[in-house]
Amino acid sequence: MKLLVTGGAGFIGSAVVRLAVARGHEVVNLDALTYAACLANVASVAEHPAYAFEQADIRDFKALEEIFARHAPDAVMHLAAESHVDRSIDGPGAFIETNVTGTYHLLQAARGYWEGQGRPGGFRFHHISTDEVYGSLGETGRFTEETPYAPNSPYSASKAASDHLVRAWGETYGLPQVITNCSNNYGPYHFPEKLIPVVILNALAGKEIPVYGQGLNVRDWLYVEDHADALLCVLEKGRVGRSYNIGGDNELRNIDLVRMICAILDRLRPAKRPYSSLIRFVEDRPGHDLRYAIDPTRIETELGWRPSVTLEQGLEKTVRWYLDNEAWWRALLEREGVGERLGTAARG
Ligand code: NAD
Q: Which domains does the chain have, with CATH numbers?
A: 2-186+221-246 (3.40.50.720), 195-219+253-289+310-341 (3.90.25.10)
pLDDT higher for 166 or 139? 166
Which pLDDT belongs to residue 345?
40
Which pLDDT belongs to residue 255?
97
Does pLDDT of 348 surpass 60?
Answer: no
Does pLDDT of 143 surpass 80?
Answer: yes
Catalytic residue check, 284: no
pLDDT digits (tens, 9 = 90+) for 294-323: 999 999 999 999 999 999 999 999 999 999
User: Out of 102-106, 243-247, 265-269, 339-343, which region has the weakest mean confidence (pLDDT)?
Assistant: 339-343
Using CA atoms, how far apart are residues 10 and 16, in angstroms rounded to an integer? 10
Residue nearest to atom 13 of ligand 1 (CA): 80
Residue 343: pLDDT band by 50, 70, 90 thresholds?
very low
Asked if residue 196 has its Cβ within 6 Å of ligand 1, the reply is: no
pTM of the model: 0.95
pLDDT digits (tens, 9 = 90+) for 159-208: 999 999 999 999 999 999 999 999 999 999 999 989 999 999 999 999 99
> Pick the catalytic residue: 26, 31, 131, 193?
131
Which pLDDT belongs to residue 346?
40
- Nearest-5° angle of CA 185, CA 315, CA 298? 45
Does pLDDT of 44 surpass 80?
Answer: yes
Does pLDDT of 337 surpass 80?
Answer: no
Asked if residue 232 has its Cβ within 6 Å of ligand 1, the reply is: no
Catalytic residue check, 326: no
Average pLDDT over residues 220-242: 98
Catalytic residue check, 131: yes
Does pLDDT of 36 surpass 50?
Answer: yes
Which pLDDT belongs to residue 258?
98
CB under 8 Å, gap of 24 or more: what pairs does 203-207 form? Answer: 203/261, 203/262, 203/265, 203/275, 203/278, 204/265, 204/269, 204/322, 204/323, 206/271, 206/278, 207/278, 207/342, 207/343
